[in-house]
Amino acid sequence: MSIIEVKGLRRAYGGRPVVDGISFTVDEGEIFGILGPNGAGKTTTVECVEGLRVPDAGTVRVAGLDPIADHDRVTRLLGAQLQESELQPKLTVGEALELYSAFYQDPADRGHLADRLGLTDLLGRRFGKLSGGQKQRLFIALALIGNPRVVVLDELTTGLDPRSRRDTWRLIEEVRDSGVTVLLVTHFMEEAQRLCDRVAVIDRGRIAALDTPAGLIRGASAATVISFTPSRPLDPADLTALPAVTSTSRDRDGRITLHGADDTVTALLSLLARHSVTAGRLRVVDATLDDAFLDLTAGHGATDLIDRES
């Protein structure tokens, strides 16, 4: 059952359309991801969902409510972590949780929330003394303090180191498992592939694709990525002529990467055998959401090898 419905959403700045007819629904209890290049319209879209911006056209509904006309009611069922968030540096974690809980008639238990998000030992620490990961955990807590049915997380893990990012991912999965619907804006493909039930890819203000991460990957022009270092040079034309190849490249160390399909692997092995070439460090992997994203937002076709043999 849909808890968020967006239909024909449009928003322009200075006459330039930033969101141009976007439509999607978010089912209750899912993690719904929004991906897109910088400036694609991701943040403007979720700000319209949050009631922070007024659409020029189209409709937005959160649990059947209009985020503008029913703003007070929407704020009671929707929590948000904004793309850029700051608190007063001398405010402690405990004071921030107490302040935000006072905004709601039926807030979550502060102690339980702090314990759940690993903030109990930080309650007396000032915001200005928190690490990036600790600040993100606090912002998640503040987004959840009102017991929301929906939480919007915009670029949640930007600037975090890999360990902190993965710790934050586990927190988001726990939030979803508790029954909260998550609308996640991110530009990290691995993050979307790991967390999201469905993903909308926005490009130049429009939805380029909407599917599960696996469905988007299956639709990529290259479902298989092959990389190897040949024992001696190969003719670039032989590689680009392999079946289903969509792109080829070679780095400065001579390692070749092909994007193709299962048929490409079989044909490549035959080519190597015919020319008595050994494939060093041969690696064959499935395409990722990165590959699908590049297809959808920029497009790519078969290309010549870098640094052609003279």
Look at residue 60 in the predicted model and tell me its pLDDT: 97
For residues 142 and 280, state if they share a domain.
Answer: no
Of 217, 245, 273, which one is at a domain's C-terminal end?
Answer: 217
Question: Do residues 245 and 128 both lie within one domain?
Answer: no
51 and 32 in a common domain: yes
Residues 184 and 90 placed together within one structural domain of the fold: yes
Residues 194 and 246 in one domain: no
Same domain flag for 169 and 24: yes
Rounded to 5°, angle at Cα 104 from 100 and 106: 120
CA-CA distance, 20 to 16, in Å (whole number)? 10
Domain boundary among 173, 201, 217: 217
Identify whether residues 234 and 123 lie together within a single domain: no
Question: Rounded to an integer, what distance in angstroms lies between the CA atom of residue 51 and that of residue 42?
Answer: 14
Q: What is the pLDDT of residues 119-130, one digit of tens each?
A: 999 999 999 999
Q: How many CB atoms lie within 10 A of CB 81?
A: 21
Query: Is there a single domain that holds both residue 174 and residue 257?
Result: no
pLDDT at 221: 63
Domain CATH number, residue 263: 3.30.70
Residue 169 lies in a domain: yes
Give pLDDT, residue 298. Answer: 63
Residue 306 lies in a domain: no
Q: Which of 199, 217, 235 is a domain's end point?
A: 217
Tokens (6 digits) for 5: 């419905």
Q: What are phi and psi of 59, to 5 degrees?
A: -130, 150
Residue 307 lies in a domain: no
Interstrand relation of 256-260 and 247-250 (parallel, antiparallel or unpaired): antiparallel
> Does the residue 291 lie in any domain?
no
- The two tokens of residue 224 are 């298989």
Domain check: are 159 and 229 in the same one? no
Q: Tell me what pLDDT residue 303 has.
A: 35
- Tell me, yes or no, whether 54 and 83 share the same domain: yes
Give the whole-angstrom CA distance, residue 45 versus residue 210: 15
28 within domain boundaries = yes
Dump strand ranges (E) for the chain: 2-13, 16-27, 31-35, 57-62, 78-81, 150-154, 181-185, 198-203, 206-211, 224-230, 247-250, 256-260, 279-286
pLDDT score recorded for residue 304 = 33
Residues 206 and 279 in one domain: no
Please indicate, yes or no, whether residues 79 and 133 belong to a single structural domain of this protein.
yes
Q: Is 277 in a helix, a strand, or coil? A: coil
Phi and psi at residue 270, to the nearest 5° = -65, -40
Q: Is residue 7 part of a domain?
A: yes
Asked whether residue 115 is domain-assigned, the answer is yes
pLDDT for 156 equals 78
The answer, as to whether pTM is greater than 0.85, is: no
pLDDT in tens, the chain (310 residues): 899 999 999 999 998 999 999 999 999 999 999 998 888 899 999 999 999 999 999 999 999 999 999 999 999 999 998 777 789 999 999 999 999 999 988 899 999 889 888 899 999 999 999 988 888 889 989 999 999 999 999 887 777 778 878 888 888 898 899 899 999 998 888 899 999 999 999 999 999 999 999 888 877 766 788 999 999 999 999 999 999 888 899 998 899 999 888 889 999 999 999 999 999 999 998 877 887 887 777 643 333 333 333 2
Structural domain for 72, as ranges: 2-217
Number of domains in the chain: 2
Residue 183 lies in a domain: yes
C-alpha 77/C-alpha 222 separation (Å) is: 41
